[in-house]
Amino acid sequence: MSQQHDHNVQLFEHPGLGRKRAKSTPKGRQVDPRALEEIDALLGDRSRRRDLLIEHLHLIQDRYHQISVAHLAALADQMKLAFAEVFETATFYAHFDIVKEGEPSIPPLTVRVCDSLTCAMHCAQDLLDTLEKTVPAGVRVVRAPCLGLCDHAPVAEVGHHFVHRATPETVTAAIAAGDTHVHRTDYVDYAAYVAGGGYALLNDLRAGRRSIESILALLDDSGLRGLGGAGFPTGRKWRAVRGEPGPRLMAVNGDEGEPGTFKDRYYLNTDPHRFLEGTLIGAHVVEASDVYIYLRDEYPLAREILTRELARLPPGGPVIHMRRGAGAYICGEESSLLESLEGKRGLPRHKPPYPFQVGLFGLPTLINNVETLYWIRDIVEKGNGWWNAHGRNGRVGLRSYSVSGRVREPGVKLAPAGVTIRELIEEFCGGMQDGHRFHAYLPGGASGGILPAAMDDIPLDFGTLEKHGCFIGSAAVVVLSDRDDMRGAALNLMRFFEDESCGQCTPCRVGTQKAVTLMQRPVWDQDLLGELSQAMRDASICGLGQAAANPLTCVMRYFPEEFMTKDAAE
């Protein structure tokens, strides 16, 4: 034995234990050869770029119905990333089922039951409880946040098949049928869209027959604002991006995760090329070389349609990339969306700089919502006179209201901007459901606050609701009746925000958790809840934490009868 070898052995000697040989395995997490082979085959000739991490995680999830730690390590090796980077990204998103070492495998089929407000109003909890007891072996049942089908509540997702107005019987039938996909053919495809004059505007713009400045002037004069919730003037945003030095990019926000919102789904599933033409016009105006469409994972049908129709577009123009969300509401916030597009956790960025200055991959980026882009062609072709001819109560234009809850005819309602809730219910929704009396409404989704039926004359538009502690947001209107518990509704919404908080900042992460705890008590400490709400509003990084308490504060303000204890009532 050499002197050096003898020295190494002595390092592992311990009195009374004899000699211990050094392990030959190197330090650090080792990549399983079989897992590496499986990941290599799954990725094939796809790029291993960092921004494709979430797309590759989807490939694993779709193939194996779960993601093992061994596959995460193999993916990290393939993409030349630290295991910690891959692990923290995978565990951030709700739709990636991570199986750690020693844990049992996840059943091959998952049933998700939506428990957001509208579905909860339609007895989603009873459906969930029943399914947990009755589903066959090999099926997992879990609760899920809003699935974007509030007009068909309650909703369950069996694999990637959605069951509308779900019952235990219809869900069981869907399970028996297997993990199927619904293929839609009744939409305006490329040939039909072109036959109706589609893409003529884009072609005129590209050929120089119509100027970029004329497009921008029409958008300025129309007053079109971002319809994803923020309401920033569209023409001004396009000008701001165009004013930044190139190269520039464009990102489309199709991640409408706000409970009560489903208008983007409707337009993507019925008239996708109208949205695509608006997207390509925007890309041309700001001279974006690439367009990234970020679509929520709960919209597999829209993704299927877009993939099919994008392949039918003639060559030329920017490169369009489809990107798939993974179950994170926070990624509807524009800077979180950019982080997710880069293959990272969807943590909001601090501003400034703003995305139009430093956006995707550090480049100036135009970010627009699906519906905003959907209206570009109509406004330019028909003119501002057509757009401004619509509107009520001193407002102009059209709004797509996603209406759900206790109305007889829920759905996407194209109505004049500024319509009141009473007009919306009576003229566009067929009135209230039988046996229900109008009691309250959410004018702007989960974060837009709650108002009583007595305040039924407020125009539903930007700038009209803020003084009442609410906002229109994405125009997700949820109608509640005298049979609904307002405290329970506010608690449901706060639980949603608790689940969806990204955890980056303490006011939101801890504030939503503490609010849920306080709201579960029989008697609310309104002073403490008010102080907590103000702290969240003042100190949270992004709009999630800043607006999470709106339903809570509205219920305390407008529904004082909900806080009468039994003793007080007597």
CATH of the domain at 529: 1.20.1440.230
Query: Which pLDDT belongs to residue 12?
Result: 41
The closest of 453, 450, 527, 531 to 491, measured between CA atoms, is 450
Q: Please report the DSSP string for 174-218 in residue order.
A: HHHH-S--PPP--S--HHHHHHTTTTHHHHHHHHTSS-HHHHHHH
Q: Based on the fold, state whether residues 205 and 221 are members of the same structural domain.
A: yes
Structure tokens at 102: 């020693």
Domain assignment of residue 159, yes or no = yes
Q: Based on the fold, state whether residues 87 and 172 are members of the same structural domain.
A: no
Q: Based on the fold, state whether residues 146 and 201 are members of the same structural domain.
A: no
Domain assignment of residue 568, yes or no = no
Residue 253 CA from chain centroid, whole number = 9
The closest of 83, 10, 11, 75 to 43, measured between CA atoms, is 75
Q: Based on the fold, state whether residues 377 and 316 are members of the same structural domain.
A: yes
CATH of the domain at 425: 3.10.20.600
The closest of 202, 396, 413 to 313, measured between CA atoms, is 202
Q: How many helices (H) and strands (E) does the chain have?
A: 25, 17
Q: Based on the fold, state whether residues 208 and 351 are members of the same structural domain.
A: yes
Query: Total structural domains in the chain?
Result: 5
On whether the pTM is more than 0.95, the answer is: no
CATH of the domain at 57: 1.10.10
Query: Which pLDDT belongs to residue 566?
Result: 40
Q: How long is the chain?
A: 570
Query: Which pLDDT belongs to residue 2?
Result: 45
Q: Based on the fold, state whether residues 165 and 288 are members of the same structural domain.
A: no
Q: Give Cβ neighbours of residue 568 (< 8 Å, ≥ 6 apart).
A: none
Domain assignment of residue 392, yes or no = no
Q: Based on the fold, state whether residues 353 and 255 are members of the same structural domain.
A: yes
* Rounded Cα–Cα distance for residues 411 and 429 (Å): 8
As beta bridge partners, residue 241 has none
**CB atoms < 10 A from the CB of 351, how many?**
13
Domain assignment of residue 18, yes or no = no
Domain assignment of residue 17, yes or no = no
Structure tokens at 167: 């019952």
* Rounded Cα–Cα distance for residues 376 and 196 (Å): 16
Q: Based on the fold, state whether residues 507 and 520 are members of the same structural domain.
A: yes
Q: Based on the fold, state whether residues 346 and 316 are members of the same structural domain.
A: yes
CATH of the domain at 165: 3.40.30.10
Of 453, 481, 509, which residue is a domain's last?
Answer: 481
pLDDT tens digits in sequence order for the chain, 570 residues long: 444 444 444 444 444 444 555 555 556 678 999 999 999 999 999 999 999 999 999 999 999 999 999 999 999 999 999 999 999 999 999 999 999 888 999 999 999 999 999 999 999 999 999 999 999 988 999 999 999 999 999 999 998 899 999 999 999 999 998 755 566 668 999 999 999 999 999 999 999 999 999 999 999 999 999 999 888 999 999 999 999 999 999 999 999 999 999 999 999 999 999 999 999 999 999 999 999 999 999 999 999 999 999 999 998 899 999 999 999 999 999 999 999 999 999 999 999 999 999 999 999 999 999 999 999 999 999 998 899 999 999 999 999 999 999 999 999 999 999 999 999 999 999 999 999 999 999 999 999 999 999 999 999 999 999 999 999 999 999 999 999 999 999 999 999 999 999 999 999 999 999 999 999 999 999 999 999 999 999 999 999 999 999 999 999 999 998 865 443 333
Q: Based on the fold, state whether residues 200 and 346 are members of the same structural domain.
A: yes
CATH of the domain at 199: 3.40.50.11540
Task: Give Cα separations from 536 to 233, 350, 517, 539 (angstroms).
Answer: 27, 16, 15, 6
Domain assignment of residue 377, yes or no = yes
* Rounded Cα–Cα distance for residues 315 and 303 (Å): 20
Q: Based on the fold, state whether residues 82 and 137 are members of the same structural domain.
A: no
In contact, 249 and 365? CB cutoff 8 Å: yes
Domain assignment of residue 9, yes or no = no
In contact, 238 and 366? CB cutoff 8 Å: yes
Query: Which pLDDT belongs to residue 181?
Result: 57
Which residue range(s) make up the domain with 166? 109-177
Q: Based on the fold, state whether residues 257 and 352 are members of the same structural domain.
A: yes
Domain assignment of residue 6, yes or no = no
Of 71, 99, 127, which residue is a domain's last?
Answer: 99
